């Protein structure tokens, strides 16, 4: 029975027998996506990133002849053009992600997150790539930091690249989600590192965030490859919780040191704003933001629009995690990371 389920998962994956390139492939998402692509029978996977040490570690932990490792930056168009040759699917995950680093290095943040996204899209069009998926973030919805602003700009650059791809087979879509449990840079590994000696550096226990497992982030990209028509933003229905719940799940009984909200941080996050909701469709397990397709005409979606005044926020999300449920999710994510 288990073997049949695994066989079905492989046979129905859009990644099977495909030539795939992923930028930022040595990050938490990138490694999980590459592992999934290999498991379901991708023909070739190009690992594109600029960190030679991480590539070396990845090569050692994933010895597979289908992997091609290419050092390069998304700010180098000629290197991207070379990496794209023969590629059918592109996943663009490379970005500067740390809010303080973007604030302190604004030109580099814009160059990587905005111009780099333009260069990846342009290289994909020139190479005749079939589908390109961009990984966005809840920070792009109503941004109040430079990082969020660059990701919003990158979303627009990526989606509107369909205008430049008109008349070709290339189409661009995006996924947008919140925090990934246990990924580098999230609060979970910070709390894990602090729980032995304490205290936890708590910004605000009432602060809420969206949470999803790494495997769910990968599955959302697969869904986007399968279901997209071009120009959509796919947003998963995921749970949320406050930082108090995270602390109790990760480090029960450990005292807190309240340090206050850092500059640019929001008390709560938004995945879909009220204004965006006018073009938002409820697709059951996820939402889809439809674009204004100036590049082609397509028939309307058959799924229902969300109600008037809809807004998808972490504090008003009806799916709030309990401590017990969060521990189950964390246990699964930790096991997956150890296996990787």
Domain regions of the chain by residue span: 2-339
Per residue in 98-155, pLDDT tens? 889 999 999 999 999 999 999 999 999 999 999 999 999 999 999 999 999 999 999 9
User: What pLDDT shows up at residue 64?
Assistant: 96
Per residue in 290-300, pLDDT tens? 999 999 999 99
User: What pLDDT shows up at residue 338?
Assistant: 37
Which amino acids are annotated catalytic?
Answer: 139
| Residue 337 pLDDT exceeds 50 | no
- Grade residue 200 by pLDDT with cuts at 50, 70 and 90: very high
- Grade residue 2 by pLDDT with cuts at 50, 70 and 90: very low
Query: Which of 11-15, 88-92, 326-330 is predicted least confidently?
Result: 11-15
| Residue 186 pLDDT exceeds 80 | no
User: What pLDDT shows up at residue 187?
Assistant: 87
Contact 284, 304 (CB under 8 A): no
| Residue 10 pLDDT exceeds 80 | no
Does the pTM surpass 0.85? The reply is yes
| Average pLDDT for 232-246 | 97
User: What pLDDT shows up at residue 181?
Assistant: 84
Of residues 181 and 233, the one with the higher pLDDT is 233
In SS3 terms, the chain reads as CHHHHHHHHHHCCCCCCCEEEEECCCCHHHHHHHHHHHHCCCCEEEEEECCHHHHHHHHHHCCCCCEEEEECCCCCHHHHHHHCCCCCEEEECCCCCCHHHHHHCHHHHHHHHHHHHHHHHHHHHHHCCCEEEEEEEHHHCCCCCHHHHHHHHHHHHHHHHHHHCCCCCCEEEEEEECEECCCCCCHHHHHHHHCCCCCEEECCCCCEEEEECHHHHHHHHHHHHHHCCCCCEEEECCCEEEHHHHHHHHCCCCCEEECCCCCCCCCCCEEECCCHHHHEEECCCEEEECCCCCCCCCCCCCCCECCCCCCEECCCCCCECCHHHHHHHHHHHHHHHHHC
Per residue in 266-284, pLDDT tens? 999 999 999 999 999 999 9
* CATH architecture for segment(s) 2-339: 3-Layer(aba) Sandwich (3.40)
What angle, 0 to 180 degrees and rounded to 10, lies between the N-to-C axes of helices 146-164 and 116-127?
A: 20
């Amino acid at each position: 029975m288990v073997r049949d389920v695994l066989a079905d998962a492989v046979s129905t994956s859009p990644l099977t027998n495909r030539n795939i390139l992923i930028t930022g492939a040595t990050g938490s998402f990138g490694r999980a996506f590459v592992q999934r692509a290999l498991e379901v029978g991708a023909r070739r996977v190009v690992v594109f990133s600029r960190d030679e040490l991480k590539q070396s570690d990845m090569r050692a932990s994933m010895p597979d002849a289908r992997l091609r490792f290419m050092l390069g930056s998304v700010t180098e168009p000629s290197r991207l053009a070379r990496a794209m040759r023969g590629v059918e699917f592109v996943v663009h995950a490379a970005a500067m992600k740390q809010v303080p680093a973007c604030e302190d290095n604004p030109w580099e943040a814009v160059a990587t997150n905005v111009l780099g996204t333009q260069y990846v899209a342009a290289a994909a069009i020139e190479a005749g790539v079939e589908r390109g998926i961009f990984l966005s973030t809840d920070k792009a919805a109503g941004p109040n930091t430079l990082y969020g602003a660059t990701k919003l700009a990158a979303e627009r650059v990526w989606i509107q690249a369909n205008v430049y791809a008109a008349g070709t087979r290339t189409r661009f879509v995006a996924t947008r989600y919140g925090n990934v449990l246990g990924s580098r840079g999230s609060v979970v590994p910070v709390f894990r590192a602090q729980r032995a000696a304490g205290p936890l550096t708590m910004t605000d226990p009432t602060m809420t965030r969206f949470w999803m497992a790494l495997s769910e982030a990968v599955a959302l990209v697969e869904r986007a490859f399968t279901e997209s028509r071009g120009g959509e933003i796919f947003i998963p229905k995921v749970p949320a919780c406050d930082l108090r719940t995270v602390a109790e799940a990760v480090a029960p009984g450990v005292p807190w040191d309240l340090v206050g909200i850092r500059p640019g941080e929001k008390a709560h996050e938004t995945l879909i704003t009220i204004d965006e909701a006018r073009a938002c469709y409820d697709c059951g397990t996820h939402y889809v933001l439809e674009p204004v397709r100036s590049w082609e005409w397509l028939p309307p979606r058959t799924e229902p629009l969300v109600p008037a005044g809809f807004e998808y926020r972490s504090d008003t999300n009806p799916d709030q995690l309990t401590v017990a449920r969060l521990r189950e999710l964390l246990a699964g994510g930790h096991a997956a990371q150890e296996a990787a």
